[in-house]
Structure 1
Amino acid sequence: MRYINLVKNLSNWWLHFAVKFGLTEANPVIFRTRGEVEIEVPRRLMHEFKEVFFEDAYLTGMKAHLPARPIIVDVGANAGFFSLFAASSFPGATIYACEPVPANFKQLMRNKERNGKQAIFCLPMAVCSYDGEVFLNFELEGNFTTAATIMGNGEGADKGLMVPCCTLATLFHAHGIKNCNLLKLDCEGAEFDILYSCSPEFFSRIERIAMEVHEGSREKHNMQALKSFLVSCGFVVRHRRHVLWAWSSTLS
């Protein structure tokens, strides 16, 4: 299925095999989708790229299909791979991509600039349970990172920097988002506080959620508690391993 998705999603799919077997030294690698979107992929982020374009990690378990011109909020956008996948799959989409890590955000902007026709709005900020600033923990020496967290856990928790942050409600208000067709979350454990801080009324504005769940030691920071919470807010929920999908019961 991975290679079927590769051929289905990318027009220059053969370039993956050139990279895999050492037939090209290109870095970054420029892939092109069948939806005429270009993706600049540093080799350091090849795994994250494949998660989206080979495995369709965020949409594969979503029962309720997206409309042709969806409003999408991408929290933890990294270099923009899911945002670009969505833009390729839904050319009429409007996408708000939030990424607080400076190196990742720079790559996100490079990918946006390659695709000027797509309505992707890049926001250099974290989303959390309050408005203001939050300490983002990650290795400053690294170029890109996929493990930045605002949870302050583990070894090296003092490494990082302060970044601007806001709640989902503030984000929606600031950008006039009245209805979100898909909320995608990949934010290294912050998904619990982000969602638990939202009111039941606010969730009526979100039709679908797709997220990676990073379980922690805090109370209710686990898959079962999160599923129960979303069900109580009117969602139908399913999960596979660490990925959770939810959609409003009104769509079922």
Structure 2
Amino acid sequence: MADAKGPDMSTLVQVRDEFCCYTTSDFNHQGLTQAHFTYEEIFELRTYLRHGVRLAPDAVVLDVGANIGLFSLFVKQECPSARVLAFEPMPAVVEALRRNLDLHGVPDVEVHALALGARREEAVFTYHPALSCNSTNRPEGKELLLEMQRVLFGEHAAGSEEVRVDVDTLSAVLERRSDLDRIDLLKIDVEGAELDVLRGVGAANWPRVDQVVVEVHDRDGRLADVLALLGAQGFRTSSQASSLLTESADLREAGAEDVPPGDYLVYATRPR
């Protein structure tokens, strides 16, 4: 399929013979690479359904850091009756997310143009148009990753701009939603702000959460902090290195001398 631009400057790319989606990249190669990686991680490797994590047909799922919506699409493919709330703060990414839901005939995912964190505030995010999955409000520690992107994709791949977005806590969201008496799965992929999201869940709201899968960028002991926080809330936890996210051989071959500290996926379930 030829790449096509929509009026919002999203790019339509063919990921697999049976699957295409909109990306946010102005650089088609980077958008396709990002979509390939995300599709493989979610749909083919089924990364989020491991270590005892499972979805009931009527599951309630919070997709925090939804990006262009592939995890939300996966949940609705697995469980068409599931309720999904997708949280994504970057305006251009939200537009691609909405277009992907429309493209795949999934109109019933709630999209919230909002970041979740430890407190209600307005925050400055660093948005990477070429590789939107790296957008973050925690740019510190991204230097090596950005250098690798330059090596692999060219100087434009590390380009960024600042975007101001609204941040709220998950507890505040839940307290406004009496219809969400349970959260079957809380999925978090927020590029370094994962502890902030978890700390934004008050003690009174944790019993509503049954399972958590969170991507952790292990800087300054963050993995241990995440495991301790979830353990203190009564979860049984396990973690694994995210092999796709930490693969370094291709990067070294391309000329990068160092790789970032490890990235992990943490799985947390209630004892059953």
TM-score range (shorter-chain normalised) is: 0.7 to 0.9
Partner of 1:12: none
Within the candidate set 80, 90, 95, 2:79 is matched to: 90
Instruction: Note the C-alpha offset of 1:53.
Output: 1.0
- Asked if 1:246 is matched to 2:268, the reply is yes
Distance 2:15 2:225 in 1: 40
Q: Flag the 1:39–1:87 CA change in 2: closer, same or farther, 3 A.
A: farther
- RMSD, aligned CA: 2.5
Whichever residue aligns with residue 63 of structure 2, its letter is D
Residues 158-205 of structure 1 show CA distances to partners (whole Å, capped at 9, x for unaligned) of 941110111001122334422100000000111112212423332101
| Cross-structure match for 1:185 | 188
Once residues 191 and 106 of structure 2 are traced to their aligned partners in structure 1, the CA distance between those partners, rounded to angstroms, is 31
* Unaligned runs of at least 5 residues, structure 2: 4-11, 24-31, 144-157, 242-263
Number of residue pairs aligned between Structure 1 and Structure 2? 217
In the superposition, relative to structure 1, how do residues 164 and 197 fare at CA in structure 2: closer, same or farther (>3 Å)?
closer
SS of 2:132 mapped into structure 1: coil
Who is 2:257 aligned against?
none
Post-superposition offset of 1:30: 6.6
Matched, 1:153 2:140: yes
The one-letter code sitting in structure 1 at the alignment partner of 2:21 is E
**Which one of 21, 30, 37 corresponds to residue 40 of structure 1?**
21
Residue aligning to 1:120: 109
Residues 91 and 118 in structure 1, CA contact (< 8 A), matched pair in contact too: no
1:215–1:64 CA distance, 2 compared to 1 (3 A) = closer
Q: Deviations over 1:48-73 (max 9, x none)?
A: 12111121111122x15322101100
Q: Cα 1:32–1:71, aligned 2, differ >3 Å: closer, same or farther?
A: farther
1:58 to 1:46, Cα distance in 2 relative to 1, 3 A: same
User: Which residue of structure 1 lines up, in the alignment, with residue 207 of structure 2?
Assistant: 204
Q: What is the SS of the residue equivalent to 2:97?
A: helix
Within 2, Cα distance between the matches of 1:39 and 1:133?
A: 34
38, 44, 68: which one aligns with 1:54? 44
Percent pairwise identity:
24
Change (3 A) 1:110 1:66: same
Q: Distance in 2 between matches of 1:230 and 1:208?
A: 10
Name the counterpart of 1:9.
none
Higher mean displacement: 236-245 or 42-51: 42-51
TM-score (norm 2): 0.72
Please say if 1:223 is aligned against 2:223: yes
